[in-house]
Homo-oligomer: A and B are copies of this chain.
Amino acid sequence: MNETIQVETIGIIHSPFKKLENMPVQSLGSQCAEGTVVVKGEFTDGLRDLGGFSHIYLIYHFHKASRTELQVIPYMDTEKRGVFATRSPLRPTHVGVSVVELLNVSGNVLTVRGLDVLDCTPLIDIKPYIPQFDCWQNATSGWMKASRSDVERRVSDDRFG
């Protein structure tokens, strides 16, 4: 049970966000935030065929999260919630997942829209978003009552810094 995994990053995400405050709290809230994903040159061949997908998952390291809190007050709530029932960066492994819109693939550089991560975020993986498998429309969302438009208006503060 005490396995530690060594994960070598595959690239870096460049976004307009230089600090944790005033960022979108979901990729929904950053539909205008474009940026680039620079994959290490040695992995360029792995990007073939990615351009056919309009949306991709980015899996990344919350590199500015230096502590863990098992219960947090999420941006879209006023009560403490278990961290695994939230998207807070303060989770034990500091791993994040976002879906972003893929605008262009050129060599080892992706242009994307809908970023909700800090500039220079280390990239762990890229996966295609496949709507026929990845949309679970009838899922229930627990404490999260916010709508898409609620989230689009909300920006971060320093609570997870």
Binding site for B on A (CB under 8 A): 1-12, 26-28, 39-40, 43, 45-55, 57, 59, 61, 63, 70-71, 81-87, 91-93, 95, 97, 99, 122, 124-144, 146-148, 151
* Chain B residues whose CB sits within 8 angstroms of the CB of A126 once the complex forms: 84
Closest residue of chain B to A136 (Cβ to Cβ) is B55
Check if B57 sits within 8 Å of A43, measured CB to CB: no
6 contacts between A and B (CB under 8 A): A1-B12, A3-B61, A4-B8, A6-B6, A46-B82, A53-B139
Question: Which 7 A-B pairs have CB atoms at the shortest separation, nearest pair first?
Answer: A52-B142, A48-B82, A49-B85, A46-B70, A135-B135, A55-B139, A45-B70
CA distance A119 to B1 in the complex (A): 13
Check if A95 sits within 8 Å of B125, measured CB to CB: yes
Given contacts A70-B46, A92-B46, A124-B5, A139 and B131 within 8 Å (CB-CB): yes
